[in-house]
Amino acid sequence: MKIKFNWGTGIFIAIVLFMSFILYFFYRSFSPELKHDLVSEDYYKDELHYQEDIDKLNNALRLDQNITLSNSKEGIHILFPNNMDYQKITGNIIFQRLSNKKLDFIQEINLSAQHKVIPDSLLVSGKWIIKVDWNYNGEKYLIKENWYY
């Protein structure tokens, strides 16, 4: 038996191939080896506090001297403003790794000098989002940096 190949058969083959193509990508998008990590698990709750973060960022922008970050062999150095008493600075430093949320961590700000060193043992090379959320004399500040270590 010989199958005739006419325009109807061609359209049928094209539709079957197209549907196979779409189903393949649908299957791949729900594959267990692909990770779909969110930046935040509680993004709805975080959205409610977004205006507070904007106010903190604006407070930090108004400072004469701001926080500076730098890389070294020991890790990441975070230098706080010299015109502030470092013993009155409190808050948290949040490290987020978008490629793997298991690497995320938070360091509390307990300063014994004008700077804090985040040790190399806690860090993996690559891109980090660093958020320094700190208070000084009742005023709240926030610094967000995309940082490569």
Q: Give the pLDDT score at 94.
A: 93
1 confidence band (pLDDT: 50, 70, 90): low
Q: Map out the domains of the chain with their CATH numbers.
A: 43-148 (2.60.40)
pTM of the complete model beyond 0.85: no
pLDDT at 8 > cutoff 90: no
Contacts of 128 (CB under 8 A, 6+ apart): 95, 96, 97, 146, 147, 148, 149
Q: Between 58 and 38, where is the model more confident?
A: 58
Give the mean pLDDT of 48-63: 88
pLDDT digits (tens, 9 = 90+) for 58-117: 999 998 888 999 998 899 999 998 888 889 999 999 999 887 888 889 999 988 888 899
DSSP state of 86: G
Contacts of 139 (CB under 8 A, 6+ apart): 59
pLDDT digits (tens, 9 = 90+) for 125-146: 889 999 999 999 889 999 999 9
pLDDT at 41 > cutoff 70: no
Lowest-pLDDT range of 8-17, 26-35, 51-60: 26-35
Length of the chain: 149
pLDDT at 13 > cutoff 90: yes
7-45 core/surface letters (b: 16 or more CB in 10 A; e: else): eeeeeeeeeeeeeeeeeeeeeeeeeeeeeeeeeeeeeee
